[in-house]
Amino acid sequence: MTRPIDPEIKRVTVTLPKHQLDALQAIAQQEDVSVAWLVRKAVDKLLRQGPAAPLTNYRSEGKARP
């Protein structure tokens, strides 16, 4: 059975270091949720904080992008 596709929902692909994916999978298993659900919740939290959210980017850290 296929879920109907909501035109307001878009699929994205992210690349994570293995240690981050491993940690997310462990949390997901412990909480009985999917990794996708955890990522959506993290994005929701970041967006609720708004533009004042304390983010660090590569330029402000003086690091080269990977």
Taking a C-beta distance cutoff of 8 angstroms, is the pair 28, 35 a contact? yes
Residue 23 lies in a domain: yes
Q: What is the span of the domain harbouring residue 39?
A: 19-43
What percentage of the chain's residues is helix, strand, coil (to nearest 5)?
A: 55, 0, 45
Torsion of CA 33, 36, 38, 39, to 10 degrees: 180
Domains of the chain: total: 1
pTM, two decimal places: 0.70
Residue 56 lies in a domain: no
Tell me the per-residue pLDDT of 9-59, one tens digit each, with 9 for 90 and over: 899 999 999 999 999 999 999 999 999 999 999 999 888 887 777 777 655
